[in-house]
Structure 1
Amino acid sequence: MGSINREDDSKITQPLIEDSNGRTPKEEGIDDNRDQENNLTRRVWIESTKLWHIVGPSIFSRVSSYSMNIVTQAFAGHIGDLELAAVSIANTVIVGFNFGLLLGMASALETLCGQAFGAKKYAMLGVYLQRSWIVMFLSCFILLPMYVFATPLLKLLGESDELAELAGEVAVWLIPLHFSFAIQFPLQRFLQSQLKTGVIAWVSLATLVIHCLVSWLFVNVFQWGIVGIAVALDISWWVLAFGLFLYTAFGGCPESWHGFSMQVFHGLWEFVQLSSASGVMLCLENWYYRILLLMTGFMKNAEIAIDALSVCMNINGWEMMIPVAFFAATGVRVSNELGAGNGKAAKFATEVSVATSTIIGIFFFVLMIIFNYDISLLFTSSSAILAAVSDLKYLLAFTILLNSVQPVLSGVAVGCGWQAWVAYINIGCYYVVGLPLGFLMYRVFNLGISGIWAGMIFGGTAIQTLILAIITMRCNWDKEVKIFIISILALI
């Protein structure tokens, strides 16, 4: 025992070896850990700054655009209930269907322009923009019959003759708005990929102000009624499109915009394929919740259920502006880093974006559970509807939480160019699993609207989010850089 104690004492009293800076190995290890922690904190701060440089203006611009529809519905509501219903259906069913498809097609630019910008192939951004315009305009012409034949289509869906005819008239007057998407959506992605998000926010704000003034002028002063509402919306969306184009063409993007070029017709077919995959990927998600409303409409005594679900979808729609902004920002950040050949930086950008959006989603999850009743009062004062919304608060909260992660993972897919794969995943999760499960829980288990929604959320959205998370975690980022180099050479 004594010898052991003496050995221990000798070890204790033995002087520690110091380095050239006078630090012991233990102290050096502590300093290294601190340096690593400080380095990680610094990296997170730098990446968050880059991310919010895109997210902040994107949220603002999307809320402004969303608010134009709210203003339009408010003016329609002051004209009459039938006019409000007609404008709502024209916007939700006709415009909403095409909006999702065209918005998805434009997201191909997030992949190509983002990667080209990261690779400093600035001249190619303008070429990609023009290719997108060609594809988008052709798509607008293909989709045009939905506006022209909106009345018989709505009657086929079960709407009353009076409502279908008025909504069909509104849809025809909204054809100019439809074609504005072909200009505006690609321009937004073109500017976002170059981190020129501030101009999008300012133009969106100016457009919202103009929309309010023009709507008031056409409806209250000129007394043009529902036609004035539609024309005001047309003008506002074209103001937004022209505002972004004028900035781009007249000095805002000197490196990436060199005027119109015949080079746009080279590699056009490959661009069509990517745009089509992007359109299918996003429109499948966009239509999913519209089908939820449609399925609710076939329930017995569905009026309260539809109203309650509409309130929930409105709340979810406002909050979704945040994750949709993260979707855009993540696509830009990932594509920029892949274009620059920085696979590890693309991975880190993904991790920071997912973590940030999830934290925000948890905040709104808790907020919705605690203040569900008070938030619902913004949309209705009916005690029956408020009670029905309260019954759905947990489903709404979980939807908000899932939607804080899923769009970010979709943004990673856009940044990497995985749109075709995600389109297949969406078909399987949403329409092969989610919809049948929702219908089963409604018809077989008699769970009503809660069953439909729960089946669609946990059978569709949750599974899709899990699959995308697994794919992202297993991604070989160095391989994605090599794939980018091959793909961009094919499209130049």
Structure 2
Amino acid sequence: MAGNSGHRPIPAKAADIAHDIASSLAQSFRASSPLAQELVARDIAECSDDDVDTEVMEDESESEDETGPGPTLYRRPSNIAFGSTRPVLGPGGLHEPILSKIERTRSRDAERSLLRDNHILPPKHQLAQHPPGPLTSLYKRVFSTKVPRKASDEEGSQIVAAHGERSPLLGRPRLPRIDGVPEPDESAAHEHLNEQWEAAVAAGQIKTTWQREAKTIAIYSRSLIVTFLLQYSINVASIFAVGRLGTRELGAVSLATMTANITCYAPLQGLATSLDTLCAQAYGSGHKQLVGLQLQRMTYFLFLLLVPIWGVWLSAEPILAALIPDQASAQLAATYLQIILLGTPAFAVFEGGKRFLQAQGLFHATTYVLLIAAPLNIFLNWLFVWRLGWGYVGAPWAVAITQNVMPVLLILYVWRIDGSQCWGGFNSKAFSNWGPMIRLALPGMVMVVAEWFAFEILTLASGRIGVAPLAAQSVLVTVTSTTFQIPFPLSIAGSTRVANLIGAKLVDAAKISAKVTFVGGLIVGVFNAVLLAAFRYQIPLLFTQDAEVVELVAQTIPVCALMQLWDGIAAVSHGLLRGIGLQEFGGYANLVCYYLVALPISFGLGFGLHWGLIGLWSGVTFGLLLVSIVEIWFICWSDWDRAARDAERRNATG
């Protein structure tokens, strides 16, 4: 995929032009890092020198002395908000937090692993005395991450790698290996990992294999998949609990959930993404307590925005009644919104607190919280809806309580486990310097809301068809959003890996990783498609027993199953664009395909030709197919060497 991009000048020139256009558009749409630098600089100017956390600086200084300032291969996963559906746009150019000692260790381990795979460092374990059996040989041939060794590279490869800027040009000759045991000088090379790494990269010795990349991406994505599924289960539990109450209740909960997403959750998530930059730069400045200050400032801002949102939700019934013909569904949806309103302040705190911890490299805190909150939410839905007999209103009460529990658990994590070092107490400075923060936050909100709005339109359109189609739409959106929680984390893992390799100037390795990610997305898409097609009649029975709704879902699922192929490919393609720093192109491609192609086709087929839900989902499926084709073409013809140079320039100026 992209393997010959550097040898086809005309398409590469077209890709460069598209890149320049996308970059120029992005600059007018997306806030840049100087806004964050301006805000952090203002805060630092107001702080005394006593506020500087010298421990961070000393730790980094010690780490630099030990290993040198060489390249770091490991980079933490992308700060994309957990629980998103299909984010068409993602903010780029964010400054990552400075690496902690643990992360530097991971970086060095990743570098050592690649050096071993390329036979530059001795193997981690002593080689076996006896030749392996046929099964062992076959297993190693298929799954080994080692780069095949050429006879011409047998001699001298380690000598080249061992000589870095600080190594003597003339060393004593390398003695032969005896029974696979490295000479003392070869083992001592571990102390000069930076020199070896830089020399090997400069000499073009670092290669990778699809086995290595598959293993790495699988490790990156497995915890993300669990986290995304746990986060999304909070919404799914309500739909499962309410669906068996009746068709109208099932449609109403879908309408209420999508309305809550587009009017509250998506805007708050989008605005909070600015903390990915603000908290990171505050942490990197050495003023740890400024991280807590940024959290307070954003939290107060989100609280202020909740006031008009509450006004809309409290008067939601007449608004929804004007959009859909069924008044009873509008009333039930409004009731749902008015109850979960009690959990929105906690949601704002959780979104900010999550990024407060991510800036410190504490990414697993959110997973730990969800491991408690998600089962609690399932239990509360069962307790309120069925055990206590509250019926429909039990589901929103379960969501509201769960949303209030999540920030409490996050605070307990900070207090008792880790993260409190960046909390300096409540500060009156949190009510000042809002201007740069708002300018940085607004583009993130637009990026997130754009995607949600497209699916809100489809939900409202299905409500115009009737009560049963609205209920069926609830099932279809839930199923397709659940299946998306697999390729989307895979795309984040692929994005992270490709970006790491591009940043280390390993372009060929990055292309191999991209191919592995693409194949992974295709495999996931096929798996999801087969799963939906095989259980087209069983899946709707998990939500409802209504025969009409079950039949509508079963008729539409084949279209949704076909969509899974393009959904998986589009997800990983956009992840690869993020990895090479060209995510703006993918963002605008998604916007054009969704709003100028997919939605018009959906309305034309659904209402013009009276295809109903099949027509609505056919338009989305064709839009995703178009997105996949456009993004794959752009990735294949992009100049990856230029992406590596751009990454090197950003690292140098960052």
Normalising to structure 2: TM-score of the pair? 0.57
Determine the structure 2 residue equivalent to 1:243.
409
Contact (CA 8 Å) 2:243, 2:249: kept in 1 or not?
Answer: yes
The alpha carbon displacement at 1:400 in A equals: 1.5
The alpha carbon displacement at 1:234 in A equals: 1.2
Return the letter of the residue paired with 1:361: G
Determine the structure 2 residue equivalent to 1:282.
448
> Which 5+ residue runs of structure 1 have no aligned equivalent?
1-24
1:242–1:155 CA distance, 2 compared to 1 (3 A): same
Segment of structure 1 superposing worse, 342-351 or 70-79: 342-351
For residue 217 of structure 2, the aligned residue among 42, 48, 60 is 48
Determine if the alignment matches structure 1 residue 482 to structure 2 residue 606: no
Distance in 1 of aligned mates of 2:363 and 2:305: 26
Contact (CA 8 Å) 1:215, 1:229: kept in 2 or not?
Answer: yes
Return the letter of the residue paired with 1:98: C
- Classify the secondary structure of the residue corresponding to 2:324: coil
The alpha carbon displacement at 1:44 in A equals: 1.4
The alpha carbon displacement at 1:280 in A equals: 2.0
1:306–1:212 CA distance, 2 compared to 1 (3 A): closer
For residue 152 of structure 2, the aligned residue among 19, 28, 49 is 28
Determine the structure 2 residue equivalent to 1:89.
255
Determine the structure 2 residue equivalent to 1:454.
618
The alpha carbon displacement at 1:237 in A equals: 1.0
For residue 179 of structure 1, the aligned residue among 345, 353, 368 is 345
Determine the structure 2 residue equivalent to 1:206.
372
Alignment of 1:110-125 (within 5 A): 123=288
The alpha carbon displacement at 1:454 in A equals: 2.1
Return the letter of the residue paired with 2:270: G
Alignment of 1:80-479 (within 5 A): 85-95=251-261, 97-109=263-275, 123=288, 129-130=295-296, 132-191=298-357, 196-215=362-381, 218=384, 226-253=392-419, 269-299=435-465, 302=466, 305-326=469-490, 328-329=492-493, 342=504, 344=506, 347=510, 352-380=516-544, 385-411=549-575, 424-443=588-607, 447-458=611-622, 460-470=623-633, 472=635, 474=638, 476-479=643-646
1:328–1:145 CA distance, 2 compared to 1 (3 A): farther
Determine if the alignment matches structure 1 residue 61 to structure 2 residue 230: no
Distance in 1 of aligned mates of 2:286 and 2:602: 47
The alpha carbon displacement at 1:66 in A equals: 2.9
1:401–1:210 CA distance, 2 compared to 1 (3 A): same
Segment of structure 1 superposing worse, 195-204 or 143-152: 195-204
Contact (CA 8 Å) 1:114, 1:193: kept in 2 or not?
Answer: yes
Segment of structure 1 superposing worse, 364-373 or 345-354: 345-354
1:413–1:247 CA distance, 2 compared to 1 (3 A): farther
1:396–1:216 CA distance, 2 compared to 1 (3 A): closer
Contact (CA 8 Å) 1:110, 1:414: kept in 2 or not?
Answer: no
Segment of structure 1 superposing worse, 355-364 or 376-385: 376-385
Root-mean-square deviation (Å)? 4.4
The alpha carbon displacement at 1:410 in A equals: 4.3
Segment of structure 1 superposing worse, 477-486 or 392-401: 477-486
Distance in 2 of aligned mates of 1:193 and 1:203: 17
Return the letter of the residue paired with 1:432: L
Contact (CA 8 Å) 1:127, 1:261: kept in 2 or not?
Answer: yes
1:406–1:113 CA distance, 2 compared to 1 (3 A): farther
- Classify the secondary structure of the residue corresponding to 2:542: coil
1:116-150: CA deviation from partner (whole Å, max 9, x where unpaired):
99x89794765665554355434434433331221
The alpha carbon displacement at 1:245 in A equals: 3.0
Return the letter of the residue paired with 1:40: T
The alpha carbon displacement at 1:232 in A equals: 2.9
Return the letter of the residue paired with 1:27: A
The alpha carbon displacement at 1:350 in A equals: 5.6
Contact (CA 8 Å) 2:577, 2:583: kept in 1 or not?
Answer: yes
The alpha carbon displacement at 1:204 in A equals: 1.1
- Classify the secondary structure of the residue corresponding to 2:461: helix
Distance in 2 of aligned mates of 1:228 and 1:388: 27
The alpha carbon displacement at 1:93 in A equals: 2.4
Contact (CA 8 Å) 2:476, 2:553: kept in 1 or not?
Answer: yes
1:317-355: CA deviation from partner (whole Å, max 9, x where unpaired):
2212223333555566677788xx546589566665444
1:212–1:402 CA distance, 2 compared to 1 (3 A): same
1:468–1:185 CA distance, 2 compared to 1 (3 A): farther
Return the letter of the residue paired with 1:209: P
Contact (CA 8 Å) 1:176, 1:234: kept in 2 or not?
Answer: yes
Return the letter of the residue paired with 1:183: V
Distance in 2 of aligned mates of 1:329 and 1:462: 22
The alpha carbon displacement at 1:279 in A equals: 2.4
Return the letter of the residue paired with 1:277: P
Normalising to structure 1: TM-score of the pair? 0.73
- Classify the secondary structure of the residue corresponding to 1:243: helix
1:268-310: CA deviation from partner (whole Å, max 9, x where unpaired):
54443443222222322223233223323434xx555545444
Aligned length: 453
Contact (CA 8 Å) 1:369, 1:394: kept in 2 or not?
Answer: yes
Distance in 2 of aligned mates of 1:230 and 1:189: 26
Contact (CA 8 Å) 1:133, 1:186: kept in 2 or not?
Answer: yes
Return the letter of the residue paired with 2:152: E
1:447–1:169 CA distance, 2 compared to 1 (3 A): closer
The alpha carbon displacement at 1:51 in A equals: 1.4
Contact (CA 8 Å) 1:115, 1:336: kept in 2 or not?
Answer: no
Contact (CA 8 Å) 1:277, 1:420: kept in 2 or not?
Answer: no
Distance in 1 of aligned mates of 2:582 and 2:426: 29
Larger RCO: Structure 1 or Structure 2 (Cα < 8 Å, ≥ 6 residues apart)? 2
The alpha carbon displacement at 1:399 in A equals: 1.8
1:92-122: CA deviation from partner (whole Å, max 9, x where unpaired):
32345432333333344556767999x8979
1:226–1:485 CA distance, 2 compared to 1 (3 A): farther
Distance in 2 of aligned mates of 1:330 and 1:111: 21
Segment of structure 1 superposing worse, 216-225 or 230-239: 216-225
The alpha carbon displacement at 1:405 in A equals: 3.1
1:31-63: CA deviation from partner (whole Å, max 9, x where unpaired):
999x989843574156325513xxx33332332
1:326–1:386 CA distance, 2 compared to 1 (3 A): same
- Classify the secondary structure of the residue corresponding to 1:372: coil
Contact (CA 8 Å) 1:281, 1:420: kept in 2 or not?
Answer: no
1:313–1:160 CA distance, 2 compared to 1 (3 A): closer
Return the letter of the residue paired with 1:456: V
